[in-house]
Amino acid sequence: MMPLRVLSVASECFPLVKTGGLADVAGALPAALAAEGVHLRTLLPAYPGVLAQAASATPVHGFDDLFGGPARLLAAREGDLDLLLLDAPHLYARPGGPYADQWGRDWPDNPQRFAALCWAAAAIGRGALPDWQPAVVHAHDWQAGLLPAYLHYAEGPRPGTVFTVHNLAFQGWAPASLLAELRLPPRAFDIDGVEFFGGIGALKAGLRLADRITTVSPTYAREITTPEEGQALDGLLRSRAGDLAGILNGIDEAAWNPAADPHLAAAFDAEHPAGREANRAALRARAGLPPRPEGLLLGVVSRLTGQKGMDLLLQALPALLGHGMDLVVLGAGEPALEAGFRAAAAAHPDRIAARIGYDEGLAHLIQAGCDALLVPSRFEPCGLTQLCALRYGALPVVARVGGLADTVIDANEAALAAGAATGLQFAPPSAPALEAALARLAALWADRAAWARTQANAFRAPVGWSRSAARYAALYREVARPGVGS
């Protein structure tokens, strides 16, 4: 039986380019789906850093004019990734990140930059590559949101379409004056098309025009159909409830494997967790915190934003310190929150360490060396950092929202008695509720037998892709169009 051909379209993909969890998902899905009989090929913008890592890339298709200049599709293979790279220098050959310049300002032509990605994907979906046509295209987040629209308004056969929203808060809005420039027909500017609050909504287009919608956890799929969490799209999502599914994210268990992680001071696993002590000591040393074997060491690996509840953590720091806990923070984000954690570290240099920025190796060491990982998000579509924590035996302390609620079993009395707990949940996402969770965490730490049992459960918790990959494969087969991509 021939593998089902699927084109995955994303603005980032680990290990080539990453700003958040979308990259991890896009990077892990191909290998996970191969076991399900799916050949997943990933289309990605050819940012300078991506081109530098894809030395073997070869041209397979050209565009004379792609939103302001010529462009090429390059084919490349990097590890488990079968890649198509959109090489459009006028859109992507610039300093800074995927979405913003080196000063953090969004590129003003982002609508055109990601419309180009969608246009190229639609061309591939309609047979631009004679030796490889997908039966399904899988678009991720607003950057790929116009892809279902381009296919919907095109003439002739097309592949099935799946749209995954990783974070409903980022919507890719553009003014209506760009309709023709973005190559959308006049009839697309309608409430049943791409129109959103008088402009063009890329995310809305994907949600309205894809054959199926997924999001990255069952709880988030329910939350986004409510006015409180629906970001003005809840009515649309309720109307498409029959086409909406929450499929939980996983992590790449090869990339996040404490038994073979090159970033750690010592290897360990669920059967031999003693190696965590060496990593705990190494983390304290690297963070500049003095040795304190009896003290509970907490970690944070996060964007420093209000969505992630980092302001709540700042408010809860007196309670954290009062319980004798220490803290290592790794992340970057809102300037006021960065300044707040820097100030806290300066005021308590023996208890709090803050590293502003991102360091993949330090992220791994925090997971391996902290006793508990804090994830106090106000909303969280899925979250991956708590899955990494479980894999590394750090107890997640999470707000009861989105995928956090779906992946962590709270250490309440019933779960402790049943031997099922893997971490702590708290609600609502507020500083007092977080402080109460820290008090519960301190009590659990004091009962070392209960802590050890909970940690053992965390090690064994399912965090990979096997179940979710099977659900994606079944969904692809449901939407695949007969005679397209076969």
Annotated binding site: 18
Note the Cα 317 to chain centre separation in Å: 27
Under 8 Å between Cβ of 191 and 235: no
Under 8 Å between Cβ of 215 and 186: no
Residue of 354, 341, 296, 300 whose CA lies nearest to 322: 296
Q: What is the Cα–Cα distance from 233 to 226, expressed in whole angstroms?
A: 9
CA-to-CA separations, 156 to 153, 160, 188, 329, 484, in angstroms, rounded: 10, 13, 17, 53, 11
Q: What is the Cα–Cα distance from 73 to 75, expressed in whole angstroms?
A: 7
Structure tokens at 371: 């006793």
**Known binding-site residue numbers for ADP-alpha-D-glucose:** 18
